[in-house]
Structure 1
Amino acid sequence: MRSLIRWAAAVAVLSVTAIGPAFAQADWPARPVRIIVPAPAGGPYDRAIRPLAQQLSLSLRQPVVVDNRPSAGNIVGTQAGATAAPDGYTLTMTGMLNTIAQSMYDNVPFDIVKDFEHVGSIGEGAQWLVVRPDANVSSFQDLVEQAKREPGKINYASSGAGSSGHLVMELLQRAAGIQFTHVPYKGGAPALQDVLAGVVPLTILPTSAALSSVQAGKLKVLAVTSGQRSPLVPNVPTFAELGYKQLAVNSWVGLSAPKGTPAPVVQKLNAALQSAMKDPALLKQLDAEGLIPLVSTPEQYTQLVRSDTERWGQLVRSLNIKAN
């Protein structure tokens, strides 16, 4: 009888242990969900994530709060997300910058591919190659021809070594067999300021950063990195149209959960994300930030993170760039 009692007790304990996580997953979410945004409050990514958080809260029937943790390379905020409890209550806004930083910095305390369960993508944005109208550059082909005649004589500004603009320009130089001189700045704003002031003639910027100056006639767009022409500048060719398919580069962002987050929770998060991406107000805000909606499954977003980590890692290592 005692053996039978011990056996029954053991079965009961195992049953509770097995049912507990399943019940927690079925009951999720039972409290507010946090999204860590490794970028400053009020910035373009922050402005995009807040209306998304509102829509997610409606789908999940729980508050979804935004936690801004900016830092160089998005490392501090992303690390906090990677080391959070894998229970579905902490998400992190991840993006292409993470895939670049993985090789740019020594001893990154997480692996952007392996230390997350990637939930889904949100949007992607193109880069615009722009010059001042008085820079004596009539077209992209004219720029290439000038660079071939005078290697290294044309300067271009970027928001810093290893930034997406810097790496796209490195890809361009390799593809076209030309040479520019890189002038790195500490951020996109001072880089743009000096281009507008005529200190540096050329730069490459996200759509949202370039648009107002282009519309004011202060900058001219030579080419765009998107797969299709932008309706904002329909007469400007894509790099692919110009014969440089390897420059089809869009910066993207999405949501990720800590590694080990249960698959049913990840699927619920993805379903809520896809539902939120149908909201007209959110789509309008993404458009204002130069982001094209990019809806994906967890598997598709995981593949995007993996492929861009490999792509940018190879380029960063070949250029021997370090941001430490």
Structure 2
Amino acid sequence: MRLAFPLARRSALALLTVLALPGAWAQAPAYPDRPIKLVVGYPAGGAVDIVARTVGQAMSVSMGQPIVIENKPGAGTNIAVKSVISAAPDGYTLMLAANALAANMALYQPAPFDAEKDLVLISQVGRVPVVIAANPSVPYNTVAQLIAAAKAKPDGIAFASPGNGATPHMAVELFAKAAGIELQHVPYRGGGPAITDTIGGQVPLVAVNALEALPHVKSGKLKVLAALSADRTSIFPDVPTIAESGYPGFEASVCYGLVAPAGTPKAITDRLHAEVQKALGQPEVKARMTGVGGEVTPGSSAQFAALVRSERQRYEKLVKETGIKPD
């Protein structure tokens, strides 16, 4: 009994000594305390890369840490997506994903991932409409004229796209089904080569996002027949939408959103969502997006998840009906 008190006192003193050590009461570092990696599944200089750098720059200023873009193209963005899924869920590896996130779950079998389970869908960022453009020498200038020409010569009119299963390819296939026409698809490895061959006359039409078409339309090397968007795009204000061309309710845009690995703490994803909304509200970011033919689309994480789900269902139906295969 005599030894009990001294022993207890020694234990208490030892505990007090540990608690008194520097950092014993220190909290975990506030997020973020180091640079954040933002993965892009496409080469530098493309539409997704430009959007990532625009939004990433605004977020880095606000968050006080650099956001470093890492371009990781290949396998229709599956390489990039899988690298993010396997990354530590700590908020330091993110991805700016596009429609391929939804399309690839339908195109590749078995599905390479389940976006809603393997990732946290943080926020939609923006969208850029797909446009159908043509070599200036082709005899049609409107969607109605294109449809008439295609019906007169089934499967005789070709269109180039950035690749099998790319958003522009899927968009034109959806349009062709709605219009009751058949077009011959010529896949390329990226929008650049598809545009080059359209300008060169190897194919009459090309489907790409408005950002990629813009400089070539300005130079007179391409003409735009229609924007596959709900509203007219600011960079082609005189070009009718596909809805105005007789197909109301039809829309096809390249959509972008921020995602993180599943298991990322909610406090971090909430912070990232708030930072995206803040960035999208900045006049400079809006101007930059508008300047390249897009628009900012702020909204909740639930809205972004609903978009991915609906796009997946739409692509699954199209792939089943057309037998589209990825490159």
Fold similarity call, TM over 0.5: yes
- SS of 2:206's partner is strand
Q: Which residue of 1 aligns with 2:256?
A: 253
Matches of 2:54 and 2:213, distance apart in 1: 23
Taking a change above 3 Å as real, the CA distance of residues 141 and 25 of structure 1, as seen in their structure-2 partners, is farther
Q: Which residue of 1 aligns with 2:141?
A: 138
**Most deviating of 273-282 and 298-307:** 273-282
1:56 corresponds to 2:59: yes
8 A contact 1:239–1:247 mirrored in 2: yes
Taking a change above 3 Å as real, the CA distance of residues 24 and 80 of structure 1, as seen in their structure-2 partners, is farther
8 A contact 1:168–1:247 mirrored in 2: no
Can you list the C-alpha shifts for 1:15-71, whole angstroms capped at 9, x where unaligned? xxxxxxxx9789333333221222223333222222322221222223322222221
Matches of 1:24 and 1:203, distance apart in 2: 55
RMSD: 2.2
- SS of 2:149's partner is helix
Residue 295 of structure 1: CA displacement? 0.8
**Most deviating of 75-84 and 277-286:** 277-286
User: Letter of the aligned partner of 2:88 in structure 1?
Assistant: A
Can you list the C-alpha shifts for 1:125-162, whole angstroms capped at 9, x where unaligned? 00111122221113221111121122122122222221
Q: Which residue of 1 aligns with 2:300?
A: 297
8 A contact 2:103–2:315 mirrored in 1: yes
Residue 124 (structure 1) aligned to one of 99, 109, 127: 127
Q: Which residue of 1 aligns with 2:181?
A: 178
Q: Which residue of 2 aligns with 1:211?
A: 214
Q: Which residue of 1 aligns with 2:16?
A: none
Matches of 1:245 and 1:143, distance apart in 2: 17
- State the number of aligned residues: 304
Can you list the C-alpha shifts for 1:265-315, whole angstroms capped at 9, x where unaligned? 211111111111223333333234322111111111111111111111221
Can you list the C-alpha shifts for 1:169-219, whole angstroms capped at 9, x where unaligned? 211221111112222222222211111111211122211111122222222
Structure 2: state its 5+ residue gaps: 9-25
Matches of 1:70 and 1:302, distance apart in 2: 24
Taking a change above 3 Å as real, the CA distance of residues 43 and 242 of structure 1, as seen in their structure-2 partners, is closer
Residue 106 of structure 1: CA displacement? 3.0
Matches of 2:199 and 2:276, distance apart in 1: 38
Matches of 1:298 and 1:172, distance apart in 2: 29
- SS of 2:116's partner is coil
Residue 124 of structure 1: CA displacement? 0.1
Residue 233 (structure 1) aligned to one of 219, 236, 254: 236
User: Letter of the aligned partner of 1:195 in structure 2?
Assistant: T
Residue 311 (structure 1) aligned to one of 298, 309, 314: 314
Residue 107 (structure 2) aligned to one of 104, 107, 111: 104
Structure 1: state its 5+ residue gaps: 6-22
User: Letter of the aligned partner of 1:49 in structure 2?
Assistant: A
8 A contact 2:39–2:93 mirrored in 1: yes
**Most deviating of 52-61 and 258-267:** 52-61
Q: Which residue of 2 aligns with 1:91?
A: 94
- SS of 1:229's partner is coil
Matches of 1:275 and 1:25, distance apart in 2: 25
Q: Which residue of 2 aligns with 1:164?
A: 167
User: Letter of the aligned partner of 1:182 in structure 2?
Assistant: H
8 A contact 1:159–1:187 mirrored in 2: yes
Can you list the C-alpha shifts for 1:97-123, whole angstroms capped at 9, x where unaligned? 221122222344421222111110111
Percentage of matched positions with identical amino acids: 36
Taking a change above 3 Å as real, the CA distance of residues 116 and 238 of structure 1, as seen in their structure-2 partners, is same
Residue 258 of structure 1: CA displacement? 1.1
